[in-house]
Amino acid sequence: MGIYHDPELPDRVRLSRLAALRTLIALYAPSFVALQEAPDDLGRGDLGPRYRVISGLGGITTAVLQTAWRVRDHSTMEGWRALVVKVDPLAGGLDLWLWNLHQPILHKDSEERRTLSRCEPRDDLRRFRARDPDRGELVVGDFNLEPHDVAMVGRDGFYARSSPEWVLSRPSRRDILYRPLYNATPTPSASQRDDPPYGSYYRDKSKDGAGPWFRPDQVLMSAELLRCGKPRVTLLPRAGETDLCAPAHRRPDPKVGSDHLPLLIELMA
């Protein structure tokens, strides 16, 4: 859930966003909370004493449920907005690299900037894989990229595909630097009567035609997290009794919550 930082934000809006976030945490008790453009002063007291809050650059914030996971280490990427946290489960299970990122809007940038933004994530992912090749990966955030962009699916990018069978069929240890990831991002049903809520990025009308892409933020994971079955990823339009979308057009209402709807990721045990 992105709560973008704005020093001019009215207090009532800031408090409304924080209340929505607290409600979601109380309802779902997530192991991890990944925020982009979070307020600078967001801390442990805001999310509850059970969570350890780790902040990176540009409002990237990750909270870890301390009763279920131990934080071993964390690093901020200097060249791009990303935070990686090394976590181990307390009750046994798969150790993880947990990535939280916020990519720039590449289609509005120069080709040089587009290339740089694609190379930096790739190189950092490989660097951390080489440190601990048996550790699984969960990569979440605002990618500002269409899921079929070459930076998402290419072998020299995130190498993420939407077919779990494809990901599971690729050996992950033979060439650890090119480990494939599963893109669990849901796509709205074409049969929906109303337009689905806005997602994480929009079409550049000058290049791509009218209208937004109806996509939420994206969720990538290594094959080890698929062994027990496909994860369930849900776009949440409400926080308890609070509607996070404006009634008139069903898009996220930034006066109530974020300009993005929250994603809930449920991994199979």
How far is 68 from 246, CA to CA, in rounded Å? 35
Tell me, what's the pLDDT at 72? Answer: 97
> Tokens at residue 261, please?
């709807």
Residues in the chain: 269
pLDDT single digits (tens) 31-80: 999 999 888 777 767 888 999 999 998 889 999 999 999 999 999 987 77
CATH number listed for the domain at residues 43-232: 3.60.10
The whole-number pLDDT of residue 237 equals: 87
Q: CB–CB of 160/180 below 8 Å?
A: yes
Return the bridge partners of 221, or none: 138, 182
CB contact at 8 A, 44 and 51: yes
Domain spans of the chain, in order of start: 43-232
Which residue's structure tokens are 């993005």?
Answer: 260
The pLDDT, as a whole number, for residue 209 is 42
What DSSP string describes the chain?
------TT--HHHHHHHHHHHHHHHHHH--SEEEESS--TT--HHHH-TTEEEEE-GGG-EEEEETTTEEEEEEEEETTTTEEEEEEEETTSS--EEEEEEE---GGGS-HHHHHHHHHHHHHHHHHHHHH-TTSEEEEEEE--S-TTSHHHHSTTTT-EES-HHHHHHS-SSTTGGG--EEE------TT-SSPPPP-S----HHHH-SS------EEEEEGGGGTT-PPEEEE--EETTEE-B-TTT-SB-TTTS-SS--EEEE---
Place of tokens 């776009």: 235
- Whole-angstrom CA distances from 64 to 88, 202, 224 are 11, 30, 20
Q: Walk along the chain (269 residues) in steps of 10 and give the mean pLDDT of each run.
A: 60 88 95 90 80 91 97 90 96 94 69 64 88 93 81 87 92 78 72 46 46 68 92 90 82 83 87
pTM beyond 0.75: the answer is yes
